[in-house]
Structure formats: C-alpha cells, structure tokens
Amino acid sequence: MLPLSLSAVRGGKAWAHMKIFLRISPLIFLLLFPVSGLPAALPLPITGIVAVVNDDIITSWELNQALQPVVREAEKKGTLSPAARNELRSSVITGLIDKKLAEQKIKELNIKVSDDELRQSIEDVKKQNKLTQEALVAALAGQGLTFEQYRSQMRDQLERLRLVSQEVKSKIQVGEQEMHDYYEANKSLFKEDETFRARHIFINIPKETTDQQLDLLTARVDAIWKECQGPSDFALLAGKYTEDATAKDGGNLGLFKKGDMQGEFVLLLERLKPGEVSGVIKTPSGFHIVKLEERIPGRVKSFEEVKPEIEERLYKKKSEERFNQWLAEMKKEATIEIRP
C-alpha cells in the first residue's frame, strides 16, 4: 500500500522542515492522521448526528466509515461481544472528536500549508517510492482515491503536524541533569553484551548425499582441520576452502553477539580463547571450522554515547504528557455533546 503520511517523505526538502515532528510520541499521531481512510475531499453525507463539537457535527456516516476497519481488525482476534463493540465505538467517537478539535484549532490559528510545500511533499513521496506521476495516480486509484483527494489528505496531515509542533513541541525541554538522572537509574538498559570476532571455513553438504559421499566429505574436512592446526594463515585457508560468500574475505564473520548465533556456536565460542581454532562442527547445512580472533567484553555504554537516545526517550514521554494536557484543555473549553 502506498504510504500517505509524512513517513514517506523522509529525505526530501519538505521533510527537512518536518523531521523534528517524528520525535513526538506515536500516540499523538492518532490525532494527526484520520482514523479511517476517508477521502478528505469528498462531501460527507449527513445521516444521523453522533456528536456535536462546538459548531461542527460528526455524522453516523463518518462514524461507520471510521469504525468498520477497526472492527475488522479486532475480529481477526476472535468474535466481538456487544460490550466490546460498544467499547470500540466509544473509542472511535473519541478519536473523531479529538480530530475535529484539531481541525478547529488549525482554523483558529490560521495554520496554512503552501502549495509549494504540498507539492514538495508529494514529490518526496514519489521519490521515496520510486514512482512516476502516472504510477502514483494508479496506486491511489487502487486505494479508491483520486489525486486531488490525496493532495487534500496530504495538506491536512501537514497542517496537523504543524499544529502539534506549535502547541506541543515548542513547550518541551529536556535538561542535562534530567538526562544524567535517567542514565544513572537505568544503566541496565544501556548494557552491551560480549561481542566476538571470528572467521570460519564452511563445507557444504549437498542434498541427497549418500553415506559413502558423506564419508568422503568428512575425510576431506578432517584434512582441512589438520591443515588449520599448522602454521598456515587461517584467512588464506578459508579463502581457499570455504564454500559460502565469506570466501572472498577469508571467511570473515565480522562482529557478532551471542544472540546472533545458533546454540552450538555459542557454547563453542565460550570455550575458545582468541587465536584458537575449534574442532569440526557438523550442522544440517554443512561442516564448520571456526577460529576466534577476538572477544570484546560486555560493558555499559557511557552517558555521552547514549545521551541522544535518552533525550529521545524523555522527549517522547514529555510530549505525550504535554499532548494529553493540551487535548484535555481543548476539551474543557469546548462544547461537546455525544448523542446516543
């Protein structure tokens, strides 16, 4: 499915002005983007009225369009009880009210997105997805959207991003001492596991190998292993014998952690000292001979190393708190009526 949100314009000029918004908590994006895939440019049929938000209404048609995909997703996990359906309905209505309040605030603050910004954002989407204009139009048609409806949705999204940046992001600060305190209280989050650097020789066992062929292959691997015990350079031997893509780099496996390896290799490397060569290891795919070149002990990263990550975590936490406060203030000042 073609991305319609700003996540698709990463890397473009318009994105350079918008990338700071991604620091906002993902929960806030529930307000930024429509709850459903409603074509924004289409007039909404007025059936029943579900809610009144200041001078605007939310129709039962809007609710049904927003609710249907939510119910379909929930039903994938099992049959929904009437109580569960009512809970979903209430949640979607709350989301539509929040969205309506945001639209009203955008009008009040006269937040505008220029045609040039809109055009650049769409160009960024096309570039990110390697689409021509014709391919974009075809992809949109597959989602039931015209290009004009898509432009309208993109403009709405840009406006909501700007609103949240103005009302939430600009009021958030993360202090140096605050980050230090978080680091000291959560050092376990920044621990690095022990790391290994190794090379290997891999000899493939072809499918449908007979017992006689396997015996011959085993004898060949044993001869290679004995050669590895001598003065020959292991990297040269790996380049000569190994039967996988690492041959061109002397069997280099690079750096890896325990979690990156199969169980038998974890036990093997824990026993080896740097410079030692393992015995022959047989797996369903083939034979392995491993040389451990280096073990790097696990450690706790320094504050300076993880400072950007800590700032990001605290920023998102504060942005969510500030957003909820801001939304609560808007609701308190608004006239909201939810009808049965």
Alpha-carbon distance of 137 to 38, in angstroms, equals 17
Quick one: 325 and 238 in the same domain?
A: no
Quick one: 65 and 146 in the same domain?
A: yes
Instruction: Flag whether 106 is in a domain.
Output: yes
Quick one: 315 and 292 in the same domain?
A: no
Q: Compare 263 and 113 and report the one with higher pLDDT.
A: 113
CB atoms within 10 A of CB 77: 7
pTM of the model: 0.56
Write the CB contacts of 179 (distance below 8 Å, at least 6 apart in sequence).
Answer: 303, 307, 310, 311, 314
Integer Rg of the chain from CA? 29
List the CATH number of the domain containing 221. 3.10.50.40
Instruction: Flag whether 1 is in a domain.
Output: no
DSSP alpha helix (H) spans, the chain: 13-18, 29-32, 60-75, 82-108, 115-128, 133-142, 147-167, 176-185, 211-228, 234-241, 263-271, 303-333
Range scoring the smallest mean pLDDT among 44-53, 106-115, 218-227? 44-53
Instruction: Flag whether 165 is in a domain.
Output: yes
Instruction: Flag whether 74 is in a domain.
Output: yes
Alpha-carbon distance of 86 to 92, in angstroms, equals 10
CA dihedral 226, 230, 232, 237 (to 10 degrees): 10
16 alpha carbon, distance to own chain's centre: 19
pLDDT for 270: 82
* Mean residue pLDDT across the chain: 84
Structure tokens, 64: 């049904």
70 phi and psi angles, rounded to 5 deg: -70, -40
Q: What is the per-residue DSSP string for 205-238?
A: --TT--HHHHHHHHHHHHHHHHHHTSSS-HHHHH
Quick one: 90 and 153 in the same domain?
A: yes
Residue 46 has pLDDT above 70, yes or no: no
Structure tokens, 216: 């011959």
Give the percent of the chain with pLDDT over 90: 55
Quick one: 160 and 222 in the same domain?
A: no
Mean pLDDT of 283-289: 91
Please tell me whether residue 282 adopts helix, strand or coil conformation. strand
pLDDT for 110: 93
Quick one: 273 and 314 in the same domain?
A: no
Quick one: 121 and 91 in the same domain?
A: yes
Instruction: Flag whether 315 is in a domain.
Output: yes
Q: Do residues 302 and 180 make contact, with C-beta atoms less than 8 angstroms apart?
A: no
Quick one: 234 and 321 in the same domain?
A: no
How confident is residue 316, by pLDDT bands cut at 50, 70 and 90? confident
Quick one: 19 and 95 in the same domain?
A: yes
> Cα–Cα distances in Å, from 25 out to 45, 166, 313, 320, 331?
33, 15, 9, 6, 20
Instruction: Flag whether 187 is in a domain.
Output: no
How confident is residue 285, by pLDDT bands cut at 50, 70 and 90? confident
Domain limits at 246? 194-297
List the CATH number of the domain containing 324. 1.10.4030.10
Taking phi first (over 0 means left), then psi (-120 to 50 degrees means alpha), and beta for anything else, what does residue 140 get? alpha
Quick one: 170 and 275 in the same domain?
A: no
Residue 301 has pLDDT above 70, yes or no: yes
Q: Note the pLDDT tens digit of each residue in 134-143.
A: 999 999 888 7
Please tell me whether residue 52 adopts helix, strand or coil conformation. strand
Instruction: Flag whether 325 is in a domain.
Output: yes
Kindly provide the b/e burial profile for residues 33-49, where b requires at least 16 CB atoms within 10 angstroms of the residue's own CB.
bbbbbebbeeeeeeeee
* Domain count within the chain: 2
Residue 303 has pLDDT above 50, yes or no: yes
Q: Do residues 172 and 318 make contact, with C-beta atoms less than 8 angstroms apart?
A: yes
Q: Note the pLDDT tens digit of each residue in 180-236.
A: 999 999 999 999 888 999 999 999 999 888 999 999 999 999 999 999 998 889 999
Instruction: Flag whether 202 is in a domain.
Output: yes
Quick one: 318 and 281 in the same domain?
A: no
Quick one: 334 and 271 in the same domain?
A: no
